[in-house]
Structure 1
């Protein structure tokens, strides 16, 4: 696989953080524009996509606003038909899946959706010439065929229980990308989809402007335009929300709490499967020591983080499978509060003796490590500082360092990193690539080069098995081994916090994954929103 920066970690132009957005309805020191039209919504998020092409990882779980998949998810995250007329049918052996398309669905350019477009989309993901990080997600897909204009047949190498969930991927028009280098196509910035909105303009580092799709198969959106503002800095985003520039903004929990009690706003605290944790690289001789990793997981006070940093908008985390999942293994739950006595005993037994300055030493090597975090993310900064303070109490010296992502990239195998991932969908999603040995060092997939034959076998068994009981057993083994090895120091699950103007109506919170920028945010159904 070509090493590329996966869109699981979006990049933004940092220079835009302090800029003012010249939008209809924005009011700031730099603009006196007229009030926004009633049918225009302006939303603000921290992260910006690198491309607007589902084949290149945009909105892969659906709710992308620009594209539709064969299936979608409702407010309860249940699968419902989208471009498919009904939910696709799985053959008794689990290895053939057939979908029949709705009649009369049009792309934004007026062309008709056909089964060939669906087949092209999935074949493009599987094409090794295309830099799609989704390819490994579709290891089970042997072929996709379009026997006629409305029928799509997926043939699998093995039965894969959550395959229908993979069909939320947005469908692209074959004619727009056939014969092109998809990695560099103009389509990636000016896409054509079937979704409720079409792209009107995209100003990198600033905003994405979407216009209503008048011919949307599910009905014309209730509003005519959507503006997505990209504002990397949390504090700047909060200031501009308070200035009235946005109808809704994603904010860090403490910043969102500042709007509680203000009659002009309301705060939505949305449940998620989104966790924060410290990736501990195996290429660093300190973090490679199991005793250091296990001591850290005993030393951190997760309850204090949830209460003090998240303002109660979250819960302690002990692994990558959320406690709300049917696959969660309860035995891996550790201590919600710190246990420095147990941590120091473990370090003593492993030969990490206290040094003259309080920092432990083993074989002449001090227990020191750098903890990187993205400088613009105030929440990760606070978590990094909390880890630093807790580690110091047991003799481990952590130096937090806020950096740009470009500065973080080359140091992934040597320095710890405050990371975030998580999915409310199947446990195969994310974890297979994040902890599997075959992905070690592939960008932000297993960046710490963690390798475990037990984990590899369990993750593969979870993919291969169709029987729910066997899958649950496989993921229990995975979670137990991860808790033993501690390649990550899991800290908290978050509630995503959004501030909305009180005039906004129609928002339907649902359990969110880690990624929640343009796609999969509170505004997943914004095409149905109205104002009072």
Structure 2
């Protein structure tokens, strides 16, 4: 299908509000190469264009969306969903159970290489009972199943026979959500207008423009200049808005953690993974939290600290250079004349990559590298101009988080060979405990399994955790309805969960 691309030389916010009574929200967004929630995730734009069978409310609890109700047959491990009737795709075609079956079978198909596939590996078959009823037959209990039904459903009539990685559809998507795609000015803007026929009730704001601003510092400047109405800002830029009557700053709790991801597919870490605990002890997390985030967050020691299944009794790897040195010595490392730790005659040396334009990650990489050099490791920080080479790098600053069910961003992130395990980490005990936690509905059994998972992960670390980040958003004070109490996901995703309730006053 043909994509609706629009190319222009400049950007003007007023161009999107030709009529006096029309409202437009301009959001400072990262760049997109495609909008493909079936294959990718953590994109703010998904919730505007698409719907899942289920959704989250402001307390991150599961609520109905495209499915108005459901039943679960415990004996046969079957979820049956009853769909909303009269829902239409943005092109006017009816939404049916066939779209649901088509979407999840595509995610599960190994040929499509979806990083989300591990969320659905317990699905044995999907049965269309009638136009508005669909059943999922599972092979095992998956307690997080309703959580994963929040994944956006895609239109069969537009994607059947298409390549799920390269189709033009993902540059001009058609969903059922509260906003319709209008145009994509490559590298500049993605424009959406409200869906007047949205089955859950039309939104108040007429037009939303995602203005592409890849540099954090530039977002702050464009907010102040009036080019943006809303954007995530860094803690160091908060002072620019805190005392400005034209803006409100939202300091929002997230499940979003940062740390060092080690590439275990790289030969260096295949030989030196046993040194990661020593590296962990050499990082002063509080110093990073204070210097980079100005204390807007929390020191991190594991992936579930903002989740009810967190095990606070695991090893925290608090800053301790003496313990670090003990581990290096026990591993047979010695210090050279310059004080650098060496193994087999070679310095412990690696590069920490950070994402171009992400000032928080850049600052963290630089401070961590400096701390490790002071601890006797030959470490550098780098910001690759061409983007991070996942396969070839030694390590990088990572961001993940589990704001919902604890299975989310643990099973597929730390499980061996799972879709979002970009580090290549593999630990048989971690696999065992994550599977146990997924396959039991008993709260106490899940708690015990997740506690053991965190203990195994801490003993053989996949990451060096730094801290959890508060998401700071600056918004023009004319915007009403933003829920500042919702716990956001990784990368601060989730602020648009109640977009239909937002209003803009006196625009």
Q: Is TM (by shorter chain) over 0.5?
A: yes
Q: Choose which of 126, 129, 132 in structure 1 pairs with 2:108.
A: 126
Cα deviation, 1:351-383, whole Å, max 9, x if unaligned, reads 322211221122201121111111221101111
Deviation per residue, 1:312-359 (Å, 9 max, x gap): 2110111111x23121111125255x2222222332333322211221
8 Å contact from structure 1 (residues 291, 347) kept in 2: no
- Identify the match of residue 29 of structure 2 among 37, 45, 68: 45
- Aligned to 2:28, the other structure's residue is in SS state strand
* Matching residue of 1:356: 337
Corresponding residue for residue 79 of structure 1: 62
Cα shift readout 1:78-101 (whole Å, capped 9, x = no counterpart)? 111111112x21113371001111
Query: What does the per-residue CA deviation read over 1:56-78, in whole Å, with 9 as the maximum and x for residues that have no partner?
Result: 33568996111111111111111
- Mapped to 1, the partners of 2:175 and 2:93 lie a distance apart of 10
2:24–2:207: 8 Å Cα contact kept in structure 1? Answer: yes
**Which residue matches 2:292?**
309
Aligned partner of 2:127 in structure 1 is 145
- Say if 2:95 is the partner of 1:113: yes
Q: 1:522 to 1:60 in 2, by over 3 A?
A: closer
The 8 Å contact of residues 353 and 388 in structure 2, kept in 1 or not, is answered as no
Match of 2:450 among 439, 463, 475: 475
Q: Which of 209, 233, 247 lines up with 1:251 in the alignment? A: 233
Q: Which runs of 5+ in 1 are unaligned?
A: 1-15, 28-32
CA contact (8 A) 1:96 1:155 kept: yes
1:105/1:285 CA distance change after superposition, 3 Å: closer
1:288, distance to aligned residue in structure 2 (A):
4.3
Give 1:449 shift: 2.6
Trace 1:181-220 onto structure 2 (pairs within 5 A): 181-220=163-202
Partner of 1:265: 247
Provide the rounded CA distance (Å) in 1 between the counterparts of 2:45 and 2:269: 40
Q: Please state if 1:69 is matched with 2:52.
A: yes
Seen in structure 2, the aligned counterparts of structure 1 residues 37 and 388 have a Cα distance that, compared at 3 Å, is farther
Cα distance change, pair 53–372 in 1 and its aligned pair in 2 (3 A) = closer
- Given candidates 347, 360, 366, the residue that maps to 1:366 is 347
**One of 463, 488, 506 as aligned partner of 1:512:** 488
Q: Is the 8 A contact 1:61 1:168 kept in 2?
A: no
Instruction: State the Cα distance separating 1:184 from its structure 2 match.
Output: 3.1
Taking structure 1 as reference, are residues 377 and 257 closer, same or farther at Cα in structure 2, changes over 3 Å only? same
What SS class does the counterpart of residue 392 from structure 1 fall into?
helix
Matched residues in 2 for 1:297 and 1:186: separation? Answer: 44
Which residue of the other structure, out of 395, 403, 408, is the alignment partner of 1:416? 395
The 3 A distance-change label for structure 1 pair 140 and 222 is: same
How many residues align? The count is 497
Q: Tell me, what secondary structure is at the counterpart of 2:354? A: strand
Given that residues 76 and 137 in structure 2 are in contact (C-alpha distance below 8 angstroms), is that contact kept between their aligned partners in structure 1? no
Correspondent of 2:383 among 397, 402, 407: 402
Q: Which piece of structure 1 moves more, 497-506 or 401-410?
A: 401-410
Residues 154-233 of structure 1: pairs in structure 2 closer than 5 A: 154-233=136-215
Name 1:7's counterpart in structure 2. none
5+ residue gaps, structure 2 = 1-6
Q: For residues 36 and 494 of structure 1, do their structure 2 counterparts lie closer, same or farther at Cα, with a shift above 3 Å needed? A: farther
Instruction: Tell whether the 8 Å contact from 1:278 to 1:490 is kept in structure 2 after alignment.
Output: yes
User: Secondary structure of the equivalent of 2:454?
Assistant: helix
Distance 2:306 2:482 in 1: 22
Q: CA deviation at 1:139?
A: 0.3
So what's the TM-score if we normalise by structure 2? 0.91
Q: Which segment is superposed worse, 451-460 or 73-82?
A: 451-460
Hey, what does 2:326 align to over in structure 1?
345
TM-score, with structure 1 as normaliser: 0.87
The change in CA–CA distance for 1:310 and 1:332 in structure 2 (over 3 A counts) is same
- Equivalences for 1:448-527 in 2 at 5 Å? 448-509=423-484, 510-516=486-492, 520-527=493-500
Pair 1:127–1:343, CA change in 2 (3 A): closer
DSSP 3-state at the match of 1:331 = coil
Cα deviation digits, residues 230-289 of structure 1 (max 9, x gap): 211111111111111111011222123432111111111111111101012333436843
Distance 1:397 1:418 in 2: 17
Correspondence for 2:3:
none
How many angstroms apart in 2 are the aligned matches of 1:239 and 1:171?
Answer: 37
CA contact (8 A) 2:81 2:135 kept: yes
Judge conservation of contact 1:21–1:229 (CA < 8 Å) in 2: no
